[in-house]
Amino acid sequence: MRARSTGMWWGTAIETPDPSALAHFYSQLLGWPVVHEERGTSVLSVPDGPIFVVFQEASDYQRPVWPPRPGEPRPMMHLDFQVDDLGSAVDEAVALGATIADDQPQPHVRVLFDPSGHPFCLCLEQD
Protein backbone atom coordinates (compact mmCIF):
# COMPACT_ATOMS: atom_id res chain seq x y z
CA MET A 1 0.00 0.00 0.00
CA ARG A 2 1.68 3.19 -1.16
CA ALA A 3 0.21 5.54 1.45
CA ARG A 4 1.05 3.21 4.32
CA SER A 5 2.07 4.88 7.57
CA THR A 6 4.84 3.60 9.80
CA GLY A 7 2.47 2.64 12.61
CA MET A 8 -0.23 1.28 10.33
CA TRP A 9 -2.78 -1.07 11.85
CA TRP A 10 -5.36 -3.17 10.08
CA GLY A 11 -8.43 -5.14 10.89
CA THR A 12 -11.99 -5.89 10.02
CA ALA A 13 -15.29 -4.49 11.25
CA ILE A 14 -18.18 -6.76 12.14
CA GLU A 15 -21.74 -5.51 12.54
CA THR A 16 -23.78 -6.69 15.50
CA PRO A 17 -26.68 -5.49 17.63
CA ASP A 18 -24.47 -5.65 20.77
CA PRO A 19 -20.80 -4.77 20.09
CA SER A 20 -19.66 -5.14 23.70
CA ALA A 21 -21.18 -8.59 24.15
CA LEU A 22 -19.74 -9.90 20.89
CA ALA A 23 -16.29 -8.42 21.58
CA HIS A 24 -16.25 -10.10 24.99
CA PHE A 25 -17.39 -13.42 23.46
CA TYR A 26 -14.40 -13.41 21.10
CA SER A 27 -12.11 -12.12 23.86
CA GLN A 28 -12.98 -15.13 26.01
CA LEU A 29 -12.83 -17.54 23.06
CA LEU A 30 -9.42 -16.37 21.83
CA GLY A 31 -7.79 -14.86 24.92
CA TRP A 32 -7.38 -11.53 23.09
CA PRO A 33 -8.02 -8.30 25.02
CA VAL A 34 -10.82 -5.84 24.45
CA VAL A 35 -8.78 -2.64 24.12
CA HIS A 36 -11.44 -0.03 23.52
CA GLU A 37 -15.15 0.40 24.17
CA GLU A 38 -17.45 3.31 23.54
CA ARG A 39 -21.13 3.58 22.74
CA GLY A 40 -21.78 1.46 19.63
CA THR A 41 -18.20 0.21 19.19
CA SER A 42 -15.88 -2.29 20.85
CA VAL A 43 -12.39 -3.22 19.68
CA LEU A 44 -10.55 -6.52 20.15
CA SER A 45 -6.76 -6.63 19.65
CA VAL A 46 -4.52 -9.45 18.57
CA PRO A 47 -1.74 -9.64 21.19
CA ASP A 48 1.64 -8.30 20.02
CA GLY A 49 0.41 -7.00 16.71
CA PRO A 50 -1.28 -4.12 14.96
CA ILE A 51 -4.36 -6.22 14.10
CA PHE A 52 -7.81 -5.32 15.41
CA VAL A 53 -11.34 -6.62 15.13
CA VAL A 54 -13.89 -3.84 15.49
CA PHE A 55 -17.46 -4.64 16.49
CA GLN A 56 -19.92 -1.95 15.41
CA GLU A 57 -23.54 -1.55 16.40
CA ALA A 58 -26.11 -2.11 13.66
CA SER A 59 -29.64 -1.35 14.82
CA ASP A 60 -31.18 -3.03 11.75
CA TYR A 61 -28.92 -6.08 11.94
CA GLN A 62 -30.19 -9.32 10.40
CA ARG A 63 -28.45 -12.60 11.12
CA PRO A 64 -26.79 -14.10 8.07
CA VAL A 65 -28.03 -17.48 6.87
CA TRP A 66 -25.54 -20.32 6.41
CA PRO A 67 -25.39 -22.20 4.24
CA PRO A 68 -26.59 -19.39 1.96
CA ARG A 69 -30.15 -19.50 0.65
CA PRO A 70 -31.58 -17.35 -2.15
CA GLY A 71 -33.31 -14.23 -0.85
CA GLU A 72 -31.81 -14.51 2.67
CA PRO A 73 -29.01 -12.38 4.17
CA ARG A 74 -25.80 -14.26 3.42
CA PRO A 75 -22.48 -14.15 5.26
CA MET A 76 -20.12 -11.85 3.41
CA MET A 77 -17.08 -13.19 5.27
CA HIS A 78 -16.26 -15.40 8.23
CA LEU A 79 -13.39 -15.97 10.65
CA ASP A 80 -11.32 -19.19 10.74
CA PHE A 81 -9.31 -20.31 13.78
CA GLN A 82 -6.86 -23.21 13.81
CA VAL A 83 -7.09 -25.49 16.87
CA ASP A 84 -5.18 -28.50 18.20
CA ASP A 85 -8.22 -30.34 19.61
CA LEU A 86 -11.42 -29.83 17.63
CA GLY A 87 -13.77 -31.41 20.17
CA SER A 88 -12.47 -29.37 23.10
CA ALA A 89 -12.46 -26.15 21.06
CA VAL A 90 -16.09 -26.72 20.00
CA ASP A 91 -17.12 -27.48 23.59
CA GLU A 92 -15.43 -24.30 24.83
CA ALA A 93 -17.05 -22.15 22.13
CA VAL A 94 -20.50 -23.58 22.90
CA ALA A 95 -20.00 -22.97 26.63
CA LEU A 96 -19.28 -19.30 25.78
CA GLY A 97 -22.48 -18.94 23.74
CA ALA A 98 -21.72 -20.26 20.24
CA THR A 99 -24.03 -22.70 18.48
CA ILE A 100 -23.05 -25.50 16.13
CA ALA A 101 -24.27 -25.28 12.54
CA ASP A 102 -26.34 -28.21 11.27
CA ASP A 103 -24.39 -28.32 8.00
CA GLN A 104 -20.77 -29.45 8.47
CA PRO A 105 -19.08 -29.71 5.06
CA GLN A 106 -15.65 -31.01 6.15
CA PRO A 107 -14.62 -33.56 8.81
CA HIS A 108 -11.66 -31.47 10.10
CA VAL A 109 -13.65 -28.21 10.34
CA ARG A 110 -16.57 -27.24 12.56
CA VAL A 111 -18.82 -24.39 11.54
CA LEU A 112 -20.33 -22.52 14.48
CA PHE A 113 -22.33 -19.32 14.92
CA ASP A 114 -21.29 -16.60 17.36
CA PRO A 115 -23.99 -15.06 19.60
CA SER A 116 -24.92 -12.57 16.84
CA GLY A 117 -25.27 -15.36 14.27
CA HIS A 118 -22.04 -14.81 12.34
CA PRO A 119 -20.55 -18.11 11.16
CA PHE A 120 -16.98 -18.91 12.15
CA CYS A 121 -14.90 -22.04 11.69
CA LEU A 122 -12.69 -24.01 14.03
CA CYS A 123 -10.16 -25.87 11.89
CA LEU A 124 -8.18 -28.85 13.13
CA GLU A 125 -4.45 -28.42 12.61
CA GLN A 126 -3.46 -30.74 9.74
CA ASP A 127 -0.09 -32.48 9.44
pLDDT digits (tens, 9 = 90+) for 38-55: 999 999 999 887 889 999
CA–CA distance, 86 with 96 (Å, rounded to integer): 15
Is 3.30.70.1560 the CATH classification of the domain at 1-60? no
| pLDDT at 120 exceeding the cut of 90 | yes
Q: What are the structural domain ranges in the chain? A: 1-60, 62-127
Q: Positive or negative, the Cα torsion across 87, 89, 95, 101?
A: negative
Phi-psi category of 77—alpha, beta or left, where left has phi over 0 and alpha has psi -120 to 50?
beta
**3-state class of 40 per DSSP?**
coil
From the list 46, 51, 50, 110, the residue with the least C-alpha distance to 78 is 110
CA dist list (Å): 1 to 7, 10, 119: 13, 12, 30
Q: Fold for domain 62-127?
A: 2,3-Dihydroxybiphenyl 1,2-Dioxygenase; domain 1 (3.10.180)
For residue range 94-106, list pLDDT tens digits in order: 999 999 999 999 9
pTM of the complete model = 0.87
Q: Starting at the earlier edge strand, list the strands of the sheet with 79-83.
A: 79-83, 119-124, 109-113, 99-100
Query: Are 1-60 and 62-127 in the same CATH fold?
Result: no
Say which DSSP state 17 is in: S
